[in-house]
Amino acid sequence: MAKDASISRRVSPCVLAYIARNFAMPYVGAIIGFMALFMLVDSINGDMRDFLEENTKIKREMAADTAMQVSQQADKAAQTGEAASSEARGGRQLIPWSVILTYLLAKQPQNLTYVIPFASLLAASFMTMMLGKNSELTAMRAAGMSLFTCCLPVWVIAALSCAVVLGINESWGPACLKKADAIETAYLKHGKVKNRSAFGFELEHRDWLIDSLSMDGESTGVIVRQYRPDGTMEYLLSAQSAEYDDGWLFKNGFVKHYGADGAPLRQSPDFFEELKKGYTESPADIHSHSIERDRMTIAELRNVLRSGLVTSRRELNLLKTLLFHRCLFPLAALIAALFGVSLTISTDRMGAMNGFATAVGSLLLFYLLTEVGVLCVKNGWLAPLGGFSPILGGILPTIAFLMLAVRTMWKRA
């Protein structure tokens, strides 16, 4: 008899498929709805307005150019007796709608990383409330089935969502942001913003500024400022281009020397066609250190930490905190699903609604604490903790909420 009772408590594939269907449908719907809302907000309040204003400006310039050309052609016709032409030539072209749409879509992946956890929470809460409304939760418990096991499809989908968020943060998202930046530079800033790279190498007291950095070719617009240990300027090297091959080869530039007090010497700069310098920092090092910290991927953060070029303890702690945060933040989708199911398990409607409100508040609190942890390390507020500050700021909030969500689910199931 004990064997039969054990068998009866097993969750059938039909139940698992039913749970998966009831979770997946609102999950997909929530993602679509949230993304449409983000697109609408971006279109009305931000990005779309910038492009429309630019097109309006272009239309005015085109109208002014057309009027001027027609006037010039009329004057010429009056002198030569030829008919005037109203055809306008030259000038800027309107920004195509395909470009505007591409820009808006390229901005969305960064929103998707926050949308997916909320969609996971909403879908889990909606599924649980519907199961409670139809007395299906009571039936599962009466049959001796564990709700934790019955919700296995929810945990699987949430885990896959974590992988998707990680993939967006590390691959798709940065690529789309680069595309959006390129469109903005080409159409709104008209190419005036250069792809500049800046890097301060504290260990060797050296600063770099490069207009166009090439990983395996010739970089252009290179400026190197070399400082003495006391902080005064030793010399400034400026070159039209430079290449790296176990050292830097600078071409067509000059070196300006400075005195011990940091003031420029009266002597003229030393001009050169080629100059070899044994600087140890590579283009990859300069590139990785030039990226905004908040936009760095896990691989980029790891490369910077391994390079050994960062000597500031505060900067090292910030990089480690961001690395931990990047690795663990995707778990938000699983945390949201656990809270969504566990806190909305109730046989009455009011209890389910109160649980849903608590789940939403818990996820918002999770977002807040993870960002506050990074902010505390960035501002040096956790500096007295030394090497423990990255753990407290980058690991503890996520792990604490994950353990709380699992414990809550285990007790309620």
Q: How far apart are CA 413 and CA 408, in angstroms?
A: 8
pLDDT score for 311: 77
pLDDT score for 192: 54
Count CB-CB contacts under 10 A for residue 285.
20
Handedness of CA 398, 370, 120, 179 (dihedral sign): negative
pLDDT score for 4: 44
Q: For the chain, which residues make up each domain, given as ranges?
A: 197-288, 293-412
pLDDT score for 190: 64
Contact 102, 183 (CB under 8 A): yes
pLDDT score for 81: 55
pLDDT < 50 stretches in the chain: 1-8, 83-90
Count CB-CB contacts under 10 A for residue 71.
11
pTM higher than 0.85 for the full model? no
pLDDT score for 411: 87
